[in-house]
Structure 1
Amino acid sequence: MMRCFCLVLLLVGLFVGQPALAQPQWLTLPPTPTLPEATRSGLAPVNGIQIWYAVFGRAKSAADDPVMGEPVILLHGGLANSHYWGEQVRALQDAFQVIVMDSRGHGRSTRDAKPYGYGLMASDVLALMDFLKVPKATIVGWSDGAIIGLDLAMHHPDRVSRLFAFAANSDPGGVADIAHSSVFNAYITRAQQEYRALSPTPDGYASFLAQIEKMWASQPRWTARDLAGIHVPTWIVDGDHDEAIKRTNTEFMAARIPGAGLLIQPEVSHFSFLQDPAQFNADLLHFLRHVKGS
């Protein structure tokens, strides 16, 4: 009996003081990054509202490098703001002209009474491009931003040179149940805090969230034929543990867009660019360097 008791003490002693096993990175929500110092930023009068934007790096000028200074627009996801792209801006700004914007009603941008829709938000991107005198750009989108990118590629291919679409869905049926996702619920809580800190209407989050959720429940509704009409060079990208997007829908989009690449990033979720920015940035830079724009 004493021998068994001593063995138990020995086993317990092996674990006393040992650190707990770290959570897999796909179950974490790292802090929201900050943006580096911008070359230019401000509020642009767009479609009757004010869109906050920032520009990093420099415009195309180097004749010896075909991508140097090429405009790249980063579009954030629903409920978020441009700060989420902080690590990507730092990775891209030395070689590209990087543009971020807070979508209407998000971050520092204002909104009006028009109901939210991806077509309307795509028109905001076009109007900002006109304001900044950017005729054509590569679009990098996350979640709602990726859906906006797909809308632009589908309906305004003359303004999109390439599309890197991370964590998009083509139909509400492609969205998974996130009600019990601790990571996504933590994100929604954080988004509310950030909204209050940045928004010109800090007390309007409940109304804002309700309007965004209404859009999520009804849009987009693209068919295989719609997707087949995209001829902009496109990569469909997602994390292998995405808690919000069904893998079947990701694969469906990649299969229906002519010539599209499919990339599933390992060990990350809907928040890949926060959870493993080195991996995300390497994949994005590979796309920018090796996928020829239209």
Structure 2
Amino acid sequence: MKNLKTTFAIILFTFFASFCNAQQLPDKDTTKYGHNPAVGKYADIRGFKMYYEVYGKGQPLLIIHGNGGSINNFRYQIPYFAKNYQVILADSRAQGKSADDKDSLSYEMMTDDLNALLDNLKLKDVNVIGWSDGGIEGLLLAINHPDKVKKLAVTGANLWPDTSAVDEFVYNYAFKMNQVAADTMKKIKNPTAEMKNQVKLLHLLTYEPHIKLEALKKITCPTLVIGGDHDVLRTKHTMLIADNIANAYLWILPNSGHSTPIFYRDIFNQVVGDFLSKPYRKIEKFGRFE
């Protein structure tokens, strides 16, 4: 049994070390973001305690992390946006400091968690930045709770989990690792809570989301859809998302993978910051010549 648990741990470590490499920051972390006792709080919502931190003052800005990530993934964005915004970040359910021992996990569930957090903070509407899974949740927040989202910027988001949306190598690798992890779990008599938790996250990004194109028509807020030209999500899929949102800009970064908020942090912050601060411009007719 011990050998099985060791094997399982190696499987998960290998997967998240490679697949979630976008969340591995390129330099040593000297910040307290994500573990700051001066500002860190827990909100008792929807059956679990959600950990969150708030920085800065101004219009509220919700920033949402990706699969297996945490508040700390945005250490390059927090100081930049906190100069002009009240920046709200939370560890999503079953991730970071937001422990959750339930068996199920879905993007809709985590989106409703964020909506409940905003209610808990008495915030009627916010600007939103979402990366990867956080981008999916940003889209769902604008679809299911449109009154909550003033402007939305998403990077590396997808609508469904197949090779029309996800790079074929990445999709097949994730699917294989999910199968191996699930099979190994069946052989372990008493899996730990951490094992169960990691399987939930792996299953989530392998089999979800399932957002229909028609649902994007419900998004009326100005939206900036972002992707790397060599993202784990196909460029044509990112373009498809932008094309089906009424008031959307599209930004594809050249020579970039999935890690746009990290490896392109300076230009990412500037462009997203300009998008949030400037009025949305409808470009049509002769405006297309500008």
TM-score above 0.5: yes
**1:271 aligned residue (241, 259, 278):** 259
**Structure-to-structure mapping, 1:155-194, within 5 angstroms:** 155-173=144-162, 174-176=165-167, 177-178=169-170
* Residues 36-63 of structure 1 deviation map (CA, whole Å, 9 limit, x = unaligned): 56873211101110111000012xxxxx
State how 1:1-294 maps to structure 2 within 5 Å. Answer: 30-31=26-27, 33=29, 34-35=31-32, 40-58=39-57, 69-173=58-162, 174-176=165-167, 177-178=169-170, 204-242=193-231, 244-292=232-280
1:178 deviates by 2.2
The amino acid of 1:264's aligned partner reads I
Shift of 1:204: 3.8
Structure 1 residues 266, 204: closer, same or farther in 2, change over 3 A?
farther
Q: Assess, with a 3 A threshold, how the Cα gap between structure 1 residues 72 and 35 changes in structure 2: closer, same or farther.
A: farther
Q: Is the 8 A contact 1:35 1:89 kept in 2?
A: no
Q: Who is 1:18 aligned against?
A: none
Q: Distance in 1 between the 2:160 and 2:274 partners?
A: 28
- 2: CA distance, partners of 1:29 / 1:129: 28
* Separation in 2, partners of 1:159, 1:142: 18
Residues 32 and 146 of structure 1, relative CA distance in 2, 3 Å threshold: farther
Counterparts of 1:159 and 1:258, CA distance in 2: 17
SS at match of 1:91: helix
Hey, what's the Cα distance between the residues in 2 that align with 1:249 and 1:227?
A: 13
Instruction: Work out the CA distance in 2 between the residues paired with 1:99 and 1:207.
Output: 28
CA distance in 2, matches of 1:57, 1:38: 16
Q: Measure how far apart 1:223 and its partner are.
A: 2.1
Question: Partners of 1:251 and 1:124 in 2: how far apart?
Answer: 28
Counterpart of 1:30, as a letter, is P
CA contact (8 A) 1:32 1:274 kept: no
Give the 3 Å change call, closer, same or farther, for CA 233–264 of structure 1 in structure 2.
Answer: same
Contact 1:228–1:257 (Cα < 8 Å) also in 2: yes
Superposed displacement of residue 88, structure 1: 0.3
RMSD between aligned residues: 2.4
1:32/1:234 CA distance change after superposition, 3 Å: farther
Cα pair 2:156 2:228 within 8 Å, conserved: yes
Partners of 2:221 and 2:241 lie apart in 1 by 14
Unmatched tracts of structure 2, length 5 or more: 1-21, 175-191, 282-290
Q: Percent identity at matched positions?
A: 30
- Structure 2 length-normalised TM: 0.75
* Matches of 1:229 and 1:32, distance apart in 2: 41
Q: Is the 8 A contact 1:171 1:222 kept in 2?
A: yes
Other-structure match for 2:284: none
In structure 1, C-alpha distance between the alignment counterparts of 2:270 and 2:149, rounded to whole Å: 22
CA distance in 2, matches of 1:154, 1:180: 29
Shift of 1:256: 0.9
Q: Tell me the SS of whatever aligns to 1:52.
A: strand
1:30 to 1:259, Cα distance in 2 relative to 1, 3 A: same
Query: 2 CA distance for matches of 1:53 and 1:100?
Result: 6
Deviation at 1:205, TM superposition (A): 3.6
Q: Deviations 1:189-247 (Å, cap 9, x if unpaired)? A: xxxxxxxxxxxxxx6443222112222233222222111221121111011221x2111
Instruction: Structure 1: state its 5+ residue gaps.
Output: 1-25, 59-68, 185-202
The secondary structure found in structure 2 opposite 1:172 is: coil
Q: Greater CA radius of gyration, 1 or 2? A: 1
Partner amino acid, structure 1, of 2:212: T
Q: Number of aligned residue pairs: give it.
A: 236
TM-score of the aligned structures, taking structure 1 as reference length: 0.74
- Residue range with higher mean Cα deviation, 207-216 or 126-135: 207-216
